[in-house]
Amino acid sequence: MAIRNSNKRVWIFVMSIAFLVIAVFAAQARTERNYRLSAARHLTLTVDSISYRASLTRVYGKFVGRPHTSQKLHGITIECKGKKYEANDIDGVDFDRWFQWEDDGMIPVEIDFPRTPSLNNAIMVISTEKGVDRCSIEKIK
């Protein structure tokens, strides 16, 4: 009986340490909200939040467009503090493929960039089939 109680205590201790390690790694990420993007002519992106992680910067947002119309996205680049960061992955739509807005006119997206500094007062360059948009990113205070 004493052996079983000892094993339970060891198991509880190991699980506690595992949860502590997970919490520490989760605390490494920083998410900022309240960003504003200037208006665009060809493709409108509304930024919900930006997550700064150890290995990447992820922009959460929505493409807004007229329902039942299509668009093709070639790439997205952020210009910040004299450097350019090109998006290396996007979820919600695909680069270089046509997509269409459904009835609500919004497509949620997650755009991954290499690790960047804070994106306040940065420029986002969105290249589409219909043209190139340069939008400024500002943190709303």
The pLDDT confidence band at residue 15, using thresholds 50, 70 and 90, is: confident
> Where do the H-state alpha helices sit in the chain?
2-27
What's the domain range around 35? Answer: 30-139
Per-residue confidence (pLDDT) for residue 64, from 0 to 100: 86
CA distance 37 to 61: 11
**8 occurs within a structural domain:** no
Residue 77 identity (one-letter amino acid): T
**10 occurs within a structural domain:** no
**22 occurs within a structural domain:** no
Give Cβ neighbours of residue 44 (< 8 Å, ≥ 6 apart): 63, 64, 65
**1 occurs within a structural domain:** no
Per-residue confidence (pLDDT) for residue 60, from 0 to 100: 92
**79 occurs within a structural domain:** yes
**19 occurs within a structural domain:** no
Per-residue confidence (pLDDT) for residue 3, from 0 to 100: 58
**18 occurs within a structural domain:** no
- The answer to whether the beta carbons of residues 120 and 33 sit under 8 Å apart is no
Distances (CA, A) of 17 to 4, 11, 29, 104, 138: 20, 10, 20, 45, 40
Higher pLDDT, 55 or 19: 55
Per-residue confidence (pLDDT) for residue 121, from 0 to 100: 84
> How many structural domains compose the chain?
1
* Per-residue pLDDT tens over the stretch 63-110: 888 899 899 999 999 999 899 999 999 999 999 999 998 899 899 999
* Per-residue pLDDT tens over the stretch 23-75: 655 555 655 555 555 566 778 888 888 899 989 999 999 988 889 989 999 99
Domain CATH number, residue 76: 2.60.40
